[in-house]
Amino acid sequence: SLLFSKRTTKLKHLIQSKELEFIMEAHNGLSALIVQEAGFKGIWASGLSMSAQLGVRDCNEASWTQLLEVLEFMAERTTIPILMDGDTGFGNYNNARRLVRKLEERGIAGVCFEDKIFPKRNSLGDGAQELANIQEFSNKIKACKDYQRDKDFQIVARCESFIAGWGLENALERCEAYRKAGVDAILIHSKKSDFTEIEQFLKAWNNRLPVVIVPTNYYKTPTDEFRKHNVSLAIWANHNLRACIKAMQDTSKQIFERQNLIGLDNIASVKEVFRLQNEQGLEEDDKKYL
Ligand code: SPV
Ligand code: MG
């Protein structure tokens, strides 16, 4: 049964199964545990969220080794698979495949690489987007697939043709090249507020490989539409980050203005903090070992 499988095998199953599955964003050890406790079967280690929680921009300002440290805490506190947002792979094929090796060593189940130029920019912003050369990016994928040790480690190729304004034909050409390079799944991204671009792609793509989507901007599309068009995996990509930003802003403002702690109803108890940290586990061990 999958219950006792490796995380790579679990992620492979989430991606390769016929069912529509969901993974949820987390950006540190605590949020990763919260995602798991909510019932999700997998975690999206979002580049936007991990950079934002460090207080920097989503354009590779945080180095890949700094992100590895974040991912290590996320893996430590969870058992469900984590898919890392690997941006462009932090360089050429050699940098990308070394990242794959380090992710495998830290128990991360897969990585998503996007076909842009390092340093990348977030896809939802207004700035111009430069795409990678198709051949060069395909070879990067191939190098990573050749280099991984665990055969179930998942590599997702993210196509940014729509984001860059290059259209459907370009998206199909790219994704076909990435498929031939041996990638496990395609992530097709769109920043439109409706499902039209993704729907056109899904129809033309015709299930050649599993498809992953990120419905941040077209969130009003009913989830059954994703199911109907055979989407494999939907990523709720940044909503824990946005939830804690709002909660922290409200709480800081309220305490600053009132100069007391009365009537804060939207905060967790200290007891809950201890529970999430597993304080009790240490107390039990202290009795045994101290
Ligand atoms: C992320 O969550 O970092 C993503 C998705 O890459 S997006 O922000 O839409 O580019
Ligand atoms: Mg990202």
Cβ of 216 below 6 Å from ligand 1: yes
CA of 150 to the centre of ligand 2 (A): 24
Cβ of 31 below 6 Å from ligand 1: no
Judge if pTM exceeds 0.90: yes
Cβ of 109 below 6 Å from ligand 1: no
Average pLDDT over residues 190-218: 98
Residue 169: which residues within 8 A CB-CB, separation 6 or more? none
Average pLDDT over residues 168-180: 98
Coil, helix or strand at residue 15: helix
Atom of ligand 1 nearest to the CA of 191: 9
Q: State how far Cα 102 lies from the chain centre.
A: 17
What ipTM describes this predicted complex? 0.99
Coil, helix or strand at residue 112: strand
pLDDT digits (tens, 9 = 90+) for 143-153: 999 999 999 99
Residue 58 designated active-site: yes
Residue 113 clears pLDDT 80, i.e. is over it:
yes
Average pLDDT over residues 58-69: 98
Q: How many CA atoms lie within 13 A of 117 on its CB side?
A: 7
Per-residue pLDDT at 3: 76
